[in-house]
Amino acid sequence: MRLLNLHPGLGPTAVKRIEADVARPRPGLLVLRYLVTAAMRDLSLPPPATPARADGLWRRTCFEAFLRPGPGEAYCEFNFSPSTEWAAYRFDGYRQGMRPAEGLEAPRIEPSATDEGFELRVSLNLDHVPDLARADAWRLGLSAVIEDAAGAISHWALAHPPGKPDFHHADGFVLDLPAPGSP
C-alpha cells in the first residue's frame, strides 16, 4: 500500500489517511484499491448510480489514476466514483488535447464502507486502448478528491507539485509500473 498525501495547502480534514494499492497482473489490466480511513459520518459520498461514463466526477468524492505509457507527454486520466460512475480521458500533453479515451470497457468498481472508513476496488481492462496495453512500462499518478459532510474538498496524491492542487502535473507521475514479466 502506498500513502496518498494531503495537499500541503489544506488544513485539517475529516480523513485520517488514504492508502492506495496498484497492480498490473497482465499487460493490459490495471487493478487499483483505495482505502480511506475516516469516520463515515464525516464524509460525503455520491449516492449509488448505474455504472456509466459521467463527466465532472472530480467535483465530489472521486478516486483517480493518471497513466503515462512510455516516453512522451501523452497520458490518460481515469476517474472512479463511489457511485460506480467513471470517466476516462486522453491528453496529448499537460492539460492539452483532452478527449474521451476510446476502446475502453467499463471498469469494475466495487465500493464498500464501514463505520471506520471506505474502500474502492477498481479493475480496468485497457487491452483495446491504443498505446496502453502494448506499453512495456506505465508511469502513474494516483490521487483522490474527498468531500466531507460539510462540503469541504480535500486533495490527496502520491506527490503534489508546488502551488495549488494539480493532479495533471508531471511531478505527480511518480509510480513506475512495468509490464508483467519485465525485468
**pLDDT tens track for 30-44:** 999 999 999 999 999
**Is residue 52 one of the residues assigned to a domain?**
yes
pLDDT digits (tens, 9 = 90+) for 123-161: 999 988 877 767 788 999 999 999 999 999 999 999 999
Q: Quick check: is 40 in a domain?
A: yes
- pLDDT computed for residue 130 by the predictor: 73
| pLDDT score for 1 | 93
Q: Which amino acid is at 109?
A: I
pLDDT of res. 9: 85
d(CA 62, CA 84): 10
What is the per-residue pLDDT for 114? Answer: 87
For the chain, give the percent of residues with pLDDT over 90: 80
Q: For 164-179, how does the pLDDT look when each residue is reduced to its tens digit (9 = 90+)?
A: 999 999 999 999 998 7
How many separate domains does the chain show? 1
Q: Residue 123's domain spans which residues?
A: 2-178
Whether 23 is covered by a domain: the verdict is yes
3-state secondary structure of 62: strand
- Compute CA 20 distance to the chain's CA centroid, rounded to the nearest angstrom: 9
- Does residue 10 lie within any of the structural domains? yes
123 inside domain: yes
Distance CA 55, CA 45 (A): 16
**Is residue 81 situated within a structural domain?**
yes
CATH number of the domain within which 60 lies:
2.60.40.1190
Phi and psi at residue 123, to the nearest 5°: -125, 120
pLDDT surpasses 90 at 87:
yes
Q: Which pLDDT score is estimated for 162?
A: 94
Write down the pTM of the prediction.
0.95
> Does 74 fall in a domain?
yes
What distance in Å separates the CA atoms of residue 23 and residue 180, rounded to the nearest whole number? 9
Q: Is residue 183 part of a domain?
A: no
Q: Which pLDDT belongs to residue 183?
A: 57
